Structure formats: structure tokens, C-alpha cells
Amino acid sequence: MCPSSDKDKGQRGFIIPIGGAEEKLHDPAILDRFVGVCGGKPSRIAIIPTASELEDTGRNYEKLFRKLGVRHAQVLGIETRNDCQDEKHLDYLSRADGVFLTGGNQLRLSTTLGGTPVAQLIRRRNVAGMHVAGTSAGAAFMPEHMIAGGDVGSTPSPDKATLAPGLGLTNKFIIDQHFRQRDRLGRLLTALAYNPFAVGIGLDEDTAAFIGADDVLEVVGSGGITIVDPCDLSYSSMDIAKRGDPVSLIDIKLHVLISGGRFEMESRKATPGN
């Protein structure tokens, strides 16, 4: 699955990966910001709970968005690939201002949505201006290359990350979630070592990256985002490493950004928040 075309770059909607466990009650800054970019109260938000095996996940987000003032928040009950052909779902997505992908298991998303009319429509609509947010598994699924699983620890190793095709909204980033809480630096470094083209985004819980059409990332939330930039990588031992071996990576650049911090993809420049 190839990423969304950026020929309409100036019109593309936000891509908003969230690290999971976002605050929902006391100070839901991330969800408030998502509602705001979607247009506020009159906005129409489609909720896709496919990643979750819990029956009430979608309905809980539907109630939450309505509590935040959204007049039109609707769960799309997509459980099978056949559901991705449903004209009711496609019609709602064609008129939505935003899509929200819940957490759960990202392989449920990729195996259910991958290559279907729903996935294709989300990508086309994002290019045309619809905003797409995803939390936890929903965040991991958003780029072209998805981290499907892996081991904890800070040192990269050939078997520390499993990759699979994602939704394909962008090929410029690889995303990992619950980052600091679950010690996932090693698996993000491993994913980047396989092909150091993309930039790695490690999202702490209750932390989101709002990535605009200009490919500028802004941090929102209470945690941090680890940016791993391999553009100056001068050496990697990934090609000679065996399963379980540590991998050497030299001249990797790493930034840790907190709320208000920004990273510009074009210039590869990071700046702190105010």
C-alpha cells in the first residue's frame, strides 16, 4: 500500500498519532484539539473501533466526543473486510471532517482494513482535507510502514521489531506508541535501521503529534515525543547482525520534545515549546 499522494500538499488534513491512554475526563487537551481542527461543534467525526476487541470502545468514544460538544459523532461498526464494502460506512466517511481510530491491536486494523474501499477512501479524504487521528494501535497503523510488534529494551536487534504495511497516510514517519512507559526505543531504532529513510516518532502516553500539511509536527499533551532522525546515519551493522545480536548505529540524531515543541520534516529542525 503506497502513501497518500502529496500533490495537493497544501490541502491535506492533519495526521494525528496519539501515544495511547489520552486524558478523557479532567483535561482532554488532545481530544479537544482534534475536535477544534475538525471544525468544532458542527463537525462530523467517524469513529473506527476495529482494533479493539471490547464491544463498548466505539460507543465510549462516541459519548466522549458528544460530551466535548460534537453534534455528529458516529461509530462505524467495521469488524470484517466485508464491512469495509458497506455503502453506509463509505457515505459517512465521504462527508466526515475527521476520523478517529481507537486502540487495540494494530494487526486487526491492517488485516481488516488493508486494501479495502474504507482504507482507500480515508487516504483520499485525508489528501483532500479530512483529519485522521489514531490512538495507540490506531497511531501505529497510520504510516506506510507499521510496527506490528516487538520486544522491549533500548538496544536495536534484528528481531526486536516486526513490520507490516500500514494505512499509508505518509511514508515519512514510523510511529511507536506507549513509548517511554513500555521501553520501546530499541524496537523503533530497529525499524529505522532496516531502511533509514523515515523519521521515527516515539509517543508517550497522553501525548500526540499534530502533523500538518506542511509536515511540521507539534506536540500536544502531558508527556514527551522522542524524535529519532537517521538522515545522517553513517554506519549500521544491521546487514551482518544475527538474531539476538545488538546492532550498531552511528550518527543517529535524537530529540525529546514536550508540549509545544515542533519538528520540521523538510529542514529536520527541532525547536522547544514556549
Q: How many residues does the chain have?
A: 274
Domains of the chain by range and CATH?
Answer: 9-264 (3.40.50.880)
Of the listed 62, 178, 218, 236, which one is catalytic? 178
Q: Is 202 left (phi over 0), alpha (psi -120 to 50) or beta?
A: beta
Of the candidates 4, 43, 110, 136, the residue annotated as catalytic is 136
Query: Residue 1: what pLDDT?
Result: 42
pTM attached to this predicted model: 0.96
Beta carbons within 8 Å of 30's beta carbon, 6+ residues apart: 18, 22, 23, 206, 207, 208, 220, 221
Do 163 and 190 meet the contact criterion of CB atoms below 8 Å apart?
no
Look up 131 and say whether it is catalytic.
Answer: no
Residue 167 has pLDDT above 90, yes or no: yes
Q: Is 52 a catalytic residue?
A: no
Band (pLDDT 50/70/90 cuts) for residue 273 is: confident
Beta-carbon neighbour count of residue 246 at 10 Å? 14
- Cα–Cα distances (Å) from 109 to 89, 127, 173, 193, in that order, read 16, 20, 18, 25
Q: Is the dihedral of CA 163, 120, 29, 59 positive or negative?
A: negative
- At residue 181, the pLDDT reads 98
Query: 22, 144, 205, 218: which one is catalytic?
Result: 205
The predicted pLDDT at position 117 comes to: 98
Helix axes 57-67, 29-38, angle to 10 degrees: 70
Say whether 248 is catalytic: no
Whether the per-residue pLDDT at 5 is higher than 50: the answer is no
Write out pLDDT tens, residues 72-119: 999 999 999 999 999 999 999 999 999 999 999 999 999 999 999 999
The answer on pLDDT for 218 being more than 80 is yes
Q: What is residue 173's three-state secondary structure?
A: strand
CA-CA distance, 134 to 142, in Å (whole number)? 7
**Closest to 22 (Cα-Cα) out of 255, 172, 171, 181:** 181
Confidence band for 148, pLDDT divided at 50, 70 and 90: very high
- The Cα 172–Cα 27 span in angstroms is 31
pLDDT band of residue 8 (cuts 50, 70, 90) is very low
Q: Is the CB of residue 19 less than 8 Å from the CB of residue 177?
A: yes
Q: Which tens digits make up the pLDDT trace of 33-55?
A: 999 999 999 999 999 999 999 99
